[in-house]
A and B are shown apart, each in its own frame.
Chain A
């Protein structure tokens, strides 16, 4: 009857979202008066999960699941849910979780609510608040099925620490045919990804050309931030598609979003609005982004960015 949470990892270490969904699962378990069971895939040391309220861990170690496979992962999480007779299953809003959750929902005959931003407002009927219309609205939604799957929006619930310890047991579910096979992965491993980043530095057409992105990258590197861009910038081929953020690009829900030379079109804002603090740097004081931002600098990116980078370097050196 425990609440089951899928805690994601990469190369044997938990991703930050794992601790956020664990914190969320603990909140749901408290509401329901039950415990939290986490399911992990190919993680040796799972003790860290105890710090976020997990009571028990089902550890799956399986070479066939070395690289992510939605069907395979959904299948083993399903078996974990059945073993625990879980009525609530928590996943994140990472690309992987969003990929596997609908398959899991079909497998468990469970209703699934994605992009959920708070602990349930009620557990009977099971009621959650989620974002809809690409962050232009919130929707209160009820899940009517016996088993419920909640996809928690990244960086919405936050981390809640608990000083408990999580016991672990090995779990060996059976895996059917995977159907989709990874042939190759092309990924910059030394860069912070938009999905994981606390801070995102994003550039628009105001930066004039790809040759000027050094400025953006240097600022990002001082802040330990990921780099992103507006849609025209990726359409023009100045930056890869994977950096395009907005309604039709990647969603951003960082703590800090710095927009440089981006006008703030509604489609751009929709995709980044979930970020907590927004800073805009733009020569045009009438740019719509100023209406959506918390802090703004009216100025030329080519003057402001190098200075800001220097100031931040000095600030970091003092810390």
Chain B
């Protein structure tokens, strides 16, 4: 089985978000980048398929050379090969188009992406990839097993979960639950050394018009101070929630 894990390179979850160039660009100054958390769960599940079922795992990112350390980290965790598509990730659609090309060229059976990236929060790349390649698609995936070309997946739904059956080729939008938090791996020294020997191929961008364009960013208005209510006077809280906030 050939697995492609889509890796989005995103600001660390604790990053302060700022913008530059007249609020048109994300300011990367002082920002640490990491593997998108949803993709980290997916990558770890891919490692399980590699170790238990002999799968071959390639990681891919659509982005500038700045994202290569993130791909190297995925190689250090255990992926066999990496591909960087040398294109700026301008909108979800163009990323999906680039990924679809990688998938067609490489003949992958299973594509593991994340439910959403924590920077753009588009939640659209995996579904578009499935739509473009004609593969089956399971979103909000929290469990996956493959047997031959048959797949059984568990997905989170509002208020619970559902078990679905489908078949390869398959794209999933994964999230926490795909593996447990405690299963996530930190690259060790040996992994980091080995990653240096593994292939990181740079693929050329293709010509695609973006379907959406980012015009401007802004930050939410600063919040007013909290109103403290004494623990001895909870009637006041009830009153505030009813008469002032009007939420009960």
Task: Write out the residue numbers on chain A whose beta carbons fall within 8 Å of the beta carbon of B218.
Answer: 137-138, 140
By the criterion CB–CB under 8 Å, are A106 and B165 in contact?
Answer: no
Instruction: Judge whether A111 and B161 touch: CB under 8 Å.
Output: no
Do A94 and B214 have beta carbons less than 8 Å apart?
no
Chain A, range 33-83, C-beta contacts under 8 Å to B: 68, 70-71, 74
Q: Which residue on chain A has the smallest CB distance to residue B120?
A: A132
Task: List residues of chain B with CB within 8 A of the CB of A311.
Answer: 234-235, 237-238
- Segment touching A, from B52-60, B72-80, B121-129, B199-207: B121-129
Contact indicator A194/B158 (Cβ below 8 Å)? yes
Interface size class of B (residues with CB under 8 A): 35 or more
Write out, one digit per residue, whether chain A residues 211-231 have a CB within 8 A of any chain B CB (1) or not (0). 000000000000100000001
Binding site for A on B (CB under 8 A): 11, 13-14, 17, 19, 26, 37-38, 91-93, 96, 118-128, 130-132, 136-140, 142, 152, 156-167, 173, 175-177, 180-182, 209-220, 223-224, 226-231, 234-235, 237-238, 240-242, 245, 247-248
In the complex, how many residues of chain A place their beta carbon closer than 8 angstroms to a beta carbon of chain B?
A: 92
A142 contacts B by Cβ under 8 Å: yes
Nearest residue in B to A142 (C-beta to C-beta)?
B213
| Chain A neighbourhood of B26, CB < 8 A | 133
Q: Which of B14, B181, B211, B238 contacts A267 (CB 8 A)?
A: B14
The stretch of A24-32, A167-175, A182-190 that contacts the partner chain: A182-190
Overall SS of chain A's interface: mixed
- Contact present for A112 and B211 (CB under 8 Å): yes
Nearest B-chain residue to A249, judged by Cβ: B176
Q: How far is the CA of A133 from the CA of B181 in the complex (A)?
A: 22
Best-surrounded residue of B140, B166, B223, B248 (most CB of chain A within 10 A): B248
Which residues of the partner chain B approach A189 to less than 8 Å between Cβ atoms?
159
Instruction: For B167, list chain A residues within 8 Å (CB).
Output: 179
Chain B residue at minimal CB-CB distance from A100: B127
Which stretch of A156-164, A202-210, A292-300 is in the interface?
A292-300
- B220 near A137: Cβ-Cβ < 8 Å: yes
Q: A99 with B245: in contact, given A114-B121, A139-B214, A242-B156 (CB under 8 Å)? A: no
Q: Which residues of B contact A139 (CB under 8 A)?
A: 214, 216-217
25 A-B residue contacts at CB 8 Å? Answer: A71-B136, A101-B124, A102-B127, A102-B130, A103-B130, A105-B127, A105-B128, A106-B131, A115-B121, A132-B121, A134-B118, A134-B121, A137-B19, A141-B213, A141-B214, A142-B213, A143-B211, A144-B212, A144-B213, A145-B211, A180-B164, A185-B157, A187-B161, A294-B227, A311-B234
